[in-house]
């Protein structure tokens, strides 16, 4: 817990200082995750700022961010640890050349020591040495398969990793664990049960304007207002992929890069690709007339 | 024994209330809720609200139930009547589908072989008989048969590798083996991609026109979900309802009661296009339909705009590995896809089947696993 934070409101304030607008609910969720030392499971549409939570937390807590991007087929050797077999072999060869393999049992024990163990993100997070515990981001956990979720159970409930040849490695201080999911698949209840849960929704008009102000300070106030209003209209438009906050920010940045002072039809047409990523969605938006989007 | 603070007692009772409304927050979650309350200001309504929401809910769908229960319990503004009927009552009851334990098909007695032939013949008839003409007794028999149909999606190559006698060199295991032979890699190990069944997504139309079939098809979906392979089940009415969780119950009676309880618009009209759109928007496009075998069980009657249906089918086709449409009407001789919805959907369908009797369900199971031809 960062110094001076005794209530979720303080935390909300700290996050805002680092350009992240959490709001009361998410701030309380993060506050409790830090206080109770529980992993935080974040769900929500793509682009609502789930991954960003981990990034801003690592900045706020002044610690490192260890990220594990999940994908299908990810296994222990890619996520937790791996023995460095090549180095072990080399060690054997060297020892043989020096005639140091006499005491066999002692020699074998030496092969399974820490220096032959390669850390992957989860082991790095558990072993992390530093002033503050690290932030561990397990991103898009829904992309991994069931087998992998099972590995996560031990790590997230005990903050310990058991390596058969070596023993159990326990975290001195548990990392701040953030799990995100896009809900492409239902994550197992056993995993969710070990976490606090929060669903991040699209922000309302006022909050989204504030977010854009914070994140794209170069944008003219009029432009910011217009862009956010346009995005909120797009979200109500029944699109295949309604734009998230990430798209709002991309769009505003694109417009600023083109030197736009305010949103007009020409500008929308030129930059629509940064906010709508489906051809059908673009057509639907164009049908609705750009005037409607521009709000004039 | 020390006096426990009233707030903790209230937390426990609140947990119980939530369970009654159907939000399954186990005791471990309630303990977590109490720990959270200790860290926050319990005199502040919002703190209590958020603490509970973060600890007791584990899916977005819980939020609505939670909010209602919170209002009732902590604010006392609304009466208990808003909580809806208690769990044990359902607006729809399913008849005639109790399952008896499988009978020994041959009773060893004086008649011996005769008993076998007597039992064999009705099963054979049953296999070809249209579900719409079944008697209650025949349904009971059918459900016993159905347990034998295994649903398993066509195989796909997984990114997960497994050891094999040939394939890609596996340095990890080769070196590991070398450790045992004094550091000499005597034998090289290999591994190759594993094959695993694709996800099967079953979407069953329960509108009025499907009434004679939907019960049986739902039963079929239960057999699929309970088989353990990755399977998702949805019910299409005026709205889309996901019933995977309910059907995952191993006891078929309880599973079907649970599923019919979850569906609010049993035997109503269909807006097939709109409900399919809801499926693609909320689930399909995010990944559920990607590379999956999507099975739609419907007669294709759509009271909505057919163009919507055609467009959604094209979207499903782009996402899925294979699209199978099961229409019980297809069994009729000289069947023509006259229902406008059906005609609009067909161009995006890979396999078109009838699904009106047991034999055709077996055929469907084969099509799902990829053995059947790609005929329309």
Closest chain A C-alpha to B176 CA, distance in angstroms: 7
List the one residue out of A241, A215, A231 whose CA is nearest residue A271.
A231
| DSSP β-bridge partners for residue B162 | B192
Q: Is residue A120 part of a domain?
A: no
Domain count, chain A: 3
| DSSP β-bridge partners for residue A199 | A43
Domain termination site, one of A115, A136, A170: A115
Q: Is residue A222 part of a domain?
A: yes
Q: Looking at beta carbons, which residues of chain B come within 8 Å of A71?
A: 159
Domain termination site, one of B34, B53, B83: B83
List the one residue out of B277, B278, B231 whose CA is nearest residue B255.
B231
pLDDT band at B238 (very low <50, low <70, confident <90, very high): confident
Q: What percent of chain B has a predicted confidence (pLDDT) above 90? A: 14
Look up the CATH number of the domain holding residue A14.
3.40.50.300
- Going by C-beta distance under 8 Å and a sequence separation of 6 or more, which residues neighbour residue A55? A65, A137
Instruction: Identify whether residues A48 and A166 lie together within a single domain.
Output: yes
Q: Is residue A3 part of a domain?
A: no
Task: Using the predicted structure, report yes or no on whether residue B257 has a pLDDT greater than 70.
Answer: yes
Q: pLDDT averaged over chain B?
A: 77
In which domain, by residue range, is B30 found? 6-83
Chain A, nearest residue to B26 by Cα: A193
Instruction: Identify whether residues A234 and A254 lie together within a single domain.
Output: yes
Domain termination site, one of B172, B196, B220: B196
Question: In this structure, what token pair is assigned to residue B283?
Answer: 């689930």
Binary contact (B40, A28; C-beta < 8 A): yes
Task: Using the predicted structure, report yes or no on whether residue A286 has a pLDDT greater than 90.
Answer: no
Instruction: Identify whether residues B73 and B105 lie together within a single domain.
Output: no
Q: Is residue A282 part of a domain?
A: yes
Mutate to test the interface with B, among A110, A118, A196, A236 (most CBs of B within 10 A): A196
Q: What does the alpha-carbon distance between residue B28 and residue A67 come to, in Å, rounded to a whole number?
A: 29
Q: Is residue A260 part of a domain?
A: yes
Q: Is residue B22 part of a domain?
A: yes
Of B29, B63, B161, the CB nearest to A199: B63
Instruction: Identify whether residues B203 and B181 lie together within a single domain.
Output: no
Instruction: Identify whether residues B187 and B219 lie together within a single domain.
Output: no
List the one residue out of B362, B206, B371, B192 whose CA is nearest residue B296.
B206
Instruction: Identify whether residues B221 and B168 lie together within a single domain.
Output: no
Q: Is residue B138 within 8 Å of B126, Cβ to Cβ?
A: yes
B18, exposed or middle or buried, with CB in 10 Å at 0-12, 13-18, 19+?
A: buried
Q: Looking at beta carbons, which residues of chain B come within 8 Å of A145?
A: 160
Instruction: Identify whether residues B295 and B354 lie together within a single domain.
Output: yes
Instruction: Identify whether residues B186 and B324 lie together within a single domain.
Output: no
Instruction: Identify whether residues B317 and B173 lie together within a single domain.
Output: no
Domain count, chain B: 3
Instruction: Identify whether residues A57 and A92 lie together within a single domain.
Output: no
Task: Specify the higher pLDDT residue, A53 or B12.
Answer: A53
pLDDT at B86: 38
B67-115 per-position pLDDT tens digit: 988 888 877 644 333 333 333 333 333 333 333 333 333 334 444 433 3
**Complex-level ipTM beyond the 0.90 threshold:** no
Mutate to test the interface with A, among B34, B43, B50, B66 (most CBs of A within 10 A): B50
Q: Return the residue matching tokens 């060199």.
A: B169
Instruction: Identify whether residues B191 and B203 lie together within a single domain.
Output: no
Instruction: Identify whether residues B177 and B276 lie together within a single domain.
Output: no
pLDDT at B342: 87
How many residue pairs from chains A and B have C-beta atoms closer than 8 A? 103
In chain B, count H helices and then E strands: 14, 9
Task: Specify the higher pLDDT residue, B104 or A180.
Answer: A180
Q: Is residue A65 part of a domain?
A: yes
Q: Is residue B1 part of a domain?
A: no
A199-231 per-position pLDDT tens digit: 999 999 999 999 999 999 999 999 999 999 999
pLDDT band at A197 (very low <50, low <70, confident <90, very high): very high
Binary contact (B40, A32; C-beta < 8 A): yes
Q: Is residue B230 part of a domain?
A: yes
Q: Is residue B234 part of a domain?
A: yes
Instruction: Identify whether residues B211 and B189 lie together within a single domain.
Output: no
In which domain, by residue range, is A253 found? 205-294
Of B160, B161, B171, the CB nearest to A85: B171
Over residues A108-122, the mean pLDDT reads 88
Q: Is residue B295 part of a domain?
A: yes
A127-160 per-position pLDDT tens digit: 998 889 999 999 999 888 877 888 898 889 889 9
Domain termination site, one of B83, B109, B132: B83
Task: Using the predicted structure, report yes or no on whether residue A87 has a pLDDT greater than 60.
Answer: yes
Strands A135-139 and A65-69, how do they pair? parallel
Phi-psi region of B145 (alpha: psi -120 to 50; beta: other; left: phi over 0): alpha
Over residues B17-40, the mean pLDDT reads 85
Closest chain B C-alpha to A184 CA, distance in angstroms: 5
Instruction: Identify whether residues A188 and A220 lie together within a single domain.
Output: no
- Give me the DSSP letters along B273-313: HHHHHHHIIIIIIIIISTT-EEEEE-----SS-HHHHHHHH
List the one residue out of B375, B370, B366, B371 whose CA is nearest residue B154.
B370
Chain A, nearest residue to B274 by Cα: A238
Chain A, nearest residue to B60 by Cα: A199
Closest chain B C-alpha to A18 CA, distance in angstroms: 23
Question: In this structure, what token pair is assigned to residue B104?
Answer: 């020994």
Q: Looking at beta carbons, which residues of chain B come within 8 Å of A181?
A: none
- Going by C-beta distance under 8 Å and a sequence separation of 6 or more, which residues neighbour residue B112? none
Strands A176-181 and A135-139, how do they pair? parallel
Rg (CA), chain B: 26
Instruction: Identify whether residues A239 and A111 lie together within a single domain.
Output: no
3-state SS, residue B196: strand
Q: Is residue B247 within 8 Å of B234, Cβ to Cβ?
A: no
Q: Looking at beta carbons, which residues of chain B come within 8 Å of A75?
A: 160
Chain B, nearest residue to A182 by Cα: B286
Q: Is residue B42 within 8 Å of B48, Cβ to Cβ?
A: yes
Question: In this structure, what token pair is assigned to residue B78?
Answer: 């609304």
Q: Is residue B172 part of a domain?
A: yes
Q: Is residue B279 within 8 Å of B186, Cβ to Cβ?
A: no
CA B259 from centroid of its chain's CA atoms: 9
């Amino acid at each position: 817990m960062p110094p001076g934070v005794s209530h979720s409101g303080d935390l909300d304030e700290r996050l805002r200082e680092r350009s992240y607008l959490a709001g009361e609910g998410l701030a309380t969720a993060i506050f409790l995750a830090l206080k109770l030392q529980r992993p935080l499971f974040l769900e929500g549409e793509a682009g609502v700022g789930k991954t960003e939570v981990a990034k801003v937390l690592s900045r706020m807590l002044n610690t490192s961010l260890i990220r594990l991007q999940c994908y299908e087929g990810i296994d222990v050797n890619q996520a937790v640890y791996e023995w460095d077999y090549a180095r072990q072999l080399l060690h054997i060869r060297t020892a043989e050349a020096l005639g140091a393999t006499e005491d066999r049992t002692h020699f074998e024990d030496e092969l399974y020591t820490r220096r032959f163990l390669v850390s992957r993100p989860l082991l790095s997070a558990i072993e992390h040495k530093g002033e503050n515990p690290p932030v561990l981001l397990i991103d898009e956990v829904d992309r991994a398969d069931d087998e992998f979720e099972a590995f996560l159970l031990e790590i997230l409930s005990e903050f310990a990793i058991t390596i058969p040849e070596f023993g159990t490695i326990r975290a001195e201080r548990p990392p701040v664990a953030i799990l995100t999911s896009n809900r492409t698949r239902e994550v197992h209840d056993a995993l969710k049960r070990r976490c606090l849960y929060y669903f991040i929704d699209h922000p309302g008009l006022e909050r989204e304007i504030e977010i854009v102000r914070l994140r794209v300070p170069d944008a003219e106030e009029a432009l910011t207002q217009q862009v956010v209003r346009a995005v909120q209209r797009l979200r109500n438009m029944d699109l295949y992929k309604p734009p998230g906050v990430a798209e709002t920010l991309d769009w505003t940045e694109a417009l600023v890069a083109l030197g736009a002072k305010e949103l007009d039809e020409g500008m929308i047409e030129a930059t629509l690709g940064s906010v709508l990523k489906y051809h059908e969605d673009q057509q639907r938006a164009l049908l609705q007339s750009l005037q409607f989007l521009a709000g004039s | 024994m020390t006096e426990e603070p009233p707030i903790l007692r209230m937390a426990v009772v609140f947990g119980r209330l939530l369970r009654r409304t159907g939000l399954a927050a186990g005791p471990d979650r309630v303990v977590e809720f109490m720990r959270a309350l200790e860290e926050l200001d319990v005199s502040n309504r919002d703190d209590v609200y958020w603490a509970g929401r973060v600890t007791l809910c584990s899916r977005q769908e819980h939020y609505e139930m939670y909010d209602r229960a919170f209002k009732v319990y902590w604010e006392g503004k609304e009466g208990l009547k808003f909580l809806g009927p208690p769990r044990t009552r359902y607006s729809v009851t399913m008849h005639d589908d109790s399952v008896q334990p499988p009978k020994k098909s041959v009773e060893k007695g004086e008649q011996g072989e005769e008993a076998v032939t007597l039992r064999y013949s009705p099963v054979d008839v049953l296999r070809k008989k249209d579900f719409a003409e079944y008697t209650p007794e025949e349904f009971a028999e059918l459900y016993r048969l159905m347990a034998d149909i295994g649903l398993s999606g066509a195989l796909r190559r997984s990114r997960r590798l497994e050891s094999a006698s040939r394939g890609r060199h596996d340095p990890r295991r080769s070196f590991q083996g070398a450790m045992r032979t004094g550091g000499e890699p005597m034998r090289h190990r290999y591994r190759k991609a594993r094959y695993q069944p694709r996800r099967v997504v079953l979407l069953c139309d329960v509108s009025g026109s499907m009434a004679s079939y939907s019960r049986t098809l739902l039963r079929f979906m239960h057999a699929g979900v309970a088989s353990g392979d990755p399977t998702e089940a949805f019910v299409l009415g005026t709205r889309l309802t996901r019933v995977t969780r309910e059907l995952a119950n191993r006891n078929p009676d309880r599973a079907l009661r649970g599923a019919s309880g979850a569906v609010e618009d049993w035997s109503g009209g269909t807006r097939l296009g709109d409900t399919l759109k809801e499926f693609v928007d909320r689930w399909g496009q995010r990944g559920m339909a990607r590379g999956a075998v999507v099975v739609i069980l419907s007669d294709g009657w759509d009271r909505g705009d057919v163009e919507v249906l055609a467009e959604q089918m094209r979207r499903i086709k782009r996402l899925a590995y294979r699209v199978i449409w099961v229409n019980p009407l297809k069994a009729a001789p000289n069947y023509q896809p006259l229902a406008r919805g059906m005609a609009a959907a067909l161009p995006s369908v890979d396999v078109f089947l009838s699904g009106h009797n047991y034999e055709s369900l077996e055929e469907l199971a084969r099509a799902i696993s990829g053995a059947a031809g790609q005929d329309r």
